[in-house]
Structure 1
Amino acid sequence: MELNAIADKFSELGHKTRLTIFKQLVKAGSEGLPVGNLQQTLKIPGSTLSHHVSRLINVGLIKQHRDGRTLYCIAQYDALQDVINFLTDECCIDASE
């Protein structure tokens, strides 16, 4: 994955509120969480949550899905795996034996 894209993901996850949002969504699994539940759990105003969710969407870490009147936020595990792979794909290649 391109270095800039990984850096953008790290940048967004470097904010305490966004990292907390993302962690809650990872814990929720592939079905995600309704935005209202996320807001209630984190005890943050809707406008603040919307701002942070938008930033995570922009870098591909989460997506939103509407089911009727309920809007869900869903962690994108492929994007998370890209970040993990970036950190580990050259593990120990410069280590001496």
Structure 2
Amino acid sequence: MEKTDAVTALAALAQDNRLDVFRLLVRSGPEGLTAGAIADALDLAPNTLTFHFDRLRMAGLATVRREGRSMIYAARFETMNSLVGFLTENCCGGVSCAPASSSKPARKRNKAPA
């Protein structure tokens, strides 16, 4: 992913409603959701959603297809994965960033005697 594409994608996600829409589309998987289902799930007006869908589509983060009278929106997982890859490609200088696991089990809290 090019830096300009990453900036465009991040700018599209840098708004509450668009981030909510995108996260809902990710949860719905490749099948996507109808515009009406998204509006209902997020309690957003359809005309407001049209604007947000357009921004996500222009950033390459969402697709739309028509099925009968319904518009079905879906996340573009390849763009999302490219963005995450772009953001983390130089993470921790090539060394694993995962925290070392503790060998000690978690401490249990004991209830005070009654």
| TM-score clears 0.5 | yes
How many residue pairs end up in the alignment?
Answer: 95
Secondary structure of residue in 1 paired with 2:92:
coil
Q: Could you tell me which amino acid in structure 1 is paired with residue 75 of structure 2? A: A
Q: Which runs of 5+ in 2 are unaligned?
A: 96-114
TM-score under structure 1 normalisation? 0.93
Root-mean-square deviation (Å): 1.2
Kindly name which structure, 1 or 2, has the bigger radius of gyration based on alpha carbons: 2
Sequence identity of aligned pairs in percent?
32
Secondary structure of residue in 1 paired with 2:78:
helix
Secondary structure of residue in 1 paired with 2:60:
coil
Q: Could you tell me which amino acid in structure 1 is paired with residue 67 of structure 2? A: D
Secondary structure of residue in 2 paired with 1:66:
strand
Give the equivalent residue in structure 2 for 1:13.
Answer: 13
Secondary structure of residue in 2 paired with 1:92:
helix
Q: Distance in 2 between matches of 1:94 and 1:30?
A: 31
TM-score under structure 2 normalisation? 0.80
Give the equivalent residue in structure 1 for 2:22.
Answer: 22
Residue 40 (str. 1) matches residue 40 (str. 2): yes
Q: Give the ranges of 4+ consecutive aligned residues of structure 1 lying more than 3 Å apart after TM superposition.
A: none
